[in-house]
Amino acid sequence: MGLLSTRVARARLTASAAATERVRELRAAGVDIVALTQGEPDFNTPDHIIEAAHRAMHAGQTHYTPVDGTPELKAAIVEKFRRENGIECRPENVSVGAGGKQVLYNALMSTIDAGDEVLIPAPSWIAYADLTQFAEGVPILLPTRPEDGFKLRAGDLDRAITPRSKWLMLNSPSNPSGAVYSEAEYRALAAVLERHPKLWIISDEIYERIRYDFVPCVSFAAVAPQLADRTLTVNGLSKSFAMTGWRLGYACGAVELIGAMRRMQGQSTLNPSSVSQAAGVAALTGPMDIVESRCAEFKTRRDFIVPRLSGIPGLRCTAPQGAFYVYVSCEDWLGRRTPEGRRLDSDADVTDYLLSQGIAVPSGEGYGLSPYFRVSFATSTGNLEEACRRIEAAAQRIM
Ligand SMILES: Cc1ncc(COP(=O)(O)O)c(C=O)c1O
């Protein structure tokens, strides 16, 4: 009998962790790389949140808390859902974990049996498929089209549903496409979902505050209240408040589901950090002007990078409506040869080639829709400028 379980064999090293590791190795070897890989704001956490954490530590909030969140944080979350999302819930509908990822982990691990299907519009955040597989479920990728803004058509959803379908994953604004669903688009999906009472919905709204051009961001559970009792609305502090390192995410959903998620968390981390939770109260109840000014900074970067990338021969992209990523089509690069004579047959070949030219970007393969690569503009304009210069030069060499 070997040491390792069959379970751990299903826990893949995440593609983004592997890419980050590769960049670290190359840099350690002295290679100059501009990385557009980061899935987190490059800003620091706002001062008033840090100060609240500091005060909480001195006030003795350094102990265990209830497993899925302090009463103060749950109250702030209930109020946030009511005020900002039009979702009515109570503390017993709320679960707090160490990041949106743990919340999703709890939800899938406590509901999926071997062979259950999770419908994932592609491209999507890599973790949805990875977590599904880890929970012994089957990820079913539903490819979307650039002409639809990478949003799922109701007809495609309808055709994909089977008796084994357990969850539909929605994510708006989307990582990696930046797509933001409108109320009408959600209504069309809701009309299909109403006919399938066994299918549950996860609406991952973690990028909700990072939006451009005044596009409204609606919550699925508010648009389709008739489906609210089988919708888990997931959110977190990481992206809006530049708090990735604090590890704080939350969700609201049916009491039975929330209870199961608490049991799952009780067998792993117990509560999220007490200090992070105190900081979370300050974030959710405090001023929002800094969040808005940072969003304006992301918009400046988006408006810089999108025309530059679109102007590069063979690349195509449109301006994302939210989040801080551009999903770039490299279809027209396929079939071309690098100066060393290597043929570019896939988006992974394209990103390998770009890495050899000093630019790190993840390939579309990991997000379930090829041939694309993802560019994160959560980095300085100087880095973006240098990356564009290098991608332009790389394009010249294969034309
Ligand atoms: C779409 C999406 N949802 C959820 C998360 C989870 O973030 P965290 O675990 O930091 O809350 C991420 C992080 O990259 C994400 O891109």
3-state secondary structure 356-379: HCCEECCEHHHHCCCCEEEEECCC
Query: To which residue do tokens 């069309």 refer?
Result: 188
* pLDDT tens readout for residues 69-87: 999 999 999 999 999 999 9
274-285 and 71-80 are packed helices; what angle lies between their axes, rounded to 10 degrees? Answer: 30
Out of 102, 172, 175, 367, give the residue to mutate to test ligand 1, the one with the largest number of ligand atoms within 8 Å of its CB: 175
Query: Alpha helix locations (H) across 182-323?
Result: 183-194, 220-223, 255-266, 274-285, 289-310
Cβ 171 under 6 angstroms from ligand 1 = yes
Beta-carbon contacts of residue 262 (< 8 Å; ≥ 6 apart): 67, 68, 95, 106
Ligand 1 within 6 A of CB of 206: yes
| Residue whose token pair is 């357990």 | 166
Give the fold, CATH level 3, of 6-44+290-398. Aspartate Aminotransferase, domain 1 (3.90.1150)
CA of 396 to the centre of ligand 1 (A): 35
Q: Say what the pLDDT of residue 112 is.
A: 98
Cβ(169)–Cβ(119) under 8 Å? yes
Neighbours of 215 (CB within 10 A): 11
Ligand 1 neighbourhood includes 249 CB (under 6 angstroms): yes
Probe residue for ligand 1, chosen from 95, 101, 131, 169 as the CB with the greatest number of ligand atoms within 8 Å: 101
* Distance from residue 97's CA to the centre of ligand 1 (Å): 12
Tens digit of each residue's pLDDT, the chain (399 residues): 799 999 998 888 777 777 788 899 999 999 999 999 988 898 999 999 999 999 999 999 999 999 999 999 999 999 999 999 999 999 999 999 999 999 999 999 999 999 999 999 999 999 999 999 999 999 999 999 999 999 999 999 999 999 999 999 999 999 999 999 999 999 999 999 999 999 999 999 999 999 999 888 899 999 999 999 999 999 999 999 999 999 999 999 999 999 999 999 999 999 999 999 999 999 999 999 999 999 999 999 999 999 999 999 999 999 999 999 999 999 999 999 999 999 999 999 999 999 999 999 999 999 999 999 999 999 999 999 999 999 999 999 997
What pLDDT shows up at residue 198? 96
- Check if 236 has its Cβ closer than 6 Å to any atom of ligand 1: yes
Where are the chain's structural domains?
A: 6-44+290-398, 48-285
Q: Do domains 6-44+290-398 and 48-285 have the same CATH topology?
A: no
For ligand 1, what atom is nearest to the CA of residue 247? 10
Sign of the dihedral through C-alpha 157, 160, 165, 170: negative
Q: Is the minimum distance from the CB of 253 to ligand 1 under 6 angstroms? A: no
What was the pLDDT predicted at 21? 85
Q: Which two tokens stand for residue 347?
A: 């988006």
CATH number of 48-285: 3.40.640.10
Residue type, 210: I
From the CB of residue 31, how many other CB atoms can be counted at a distance below 10 Å?
12
Q: What is the pLDDT at residue 102?
A: 98
Atom nearest to 40 CA in ligand 1:
14
Q: What is the pLDDT of residues 9-60, one digit of tens each?
A: 888 877 777 778 889 999 999 999 999 998 889 899 999 999 999 999 999 9
pLDDT value at residue 231: 98
Please give the Cα distance from 267 to 391 (Å, whole number).
47
The Cα–Cα gap between 331 and 21 comes to: 27
Taking the CA of residue 249 as reference, the ligand 1 atom at the shortest distance is: 11
Give me ligand 1 centre to Cα 100, in Å.
5
Using only C-alpha atoms, the chain has a radius of gyration, in whole angstroms, of 21
Distance from Cα 198 to the centre of ligand 1, integer Å: 26
- The total number of residues shown for the chain amounts to 399
Q: Which of 172, 238, 327 to mutate to test the pocket of ligand 1 (most atoms within 8 A of CB)?
A: 238
Provide the pLDDT for residue 14.
74
The residues, ordered by sequence, that sit 6+ positions from 184 with a Cβ below 8 Å of its Cβ are none
H or E element, residue 58: helix 47-58
Q: Which burial class, exposed, middle or buried, applies to 98 when counting CB atoms under 10 A from its CB (0-12, 13-18, 19+)?
A: buried
Distances from the Cα of 249 to the Cα of 160, 229, 376, angstroms: 30, 20, 22
142 in helix, strand or coil?
strand
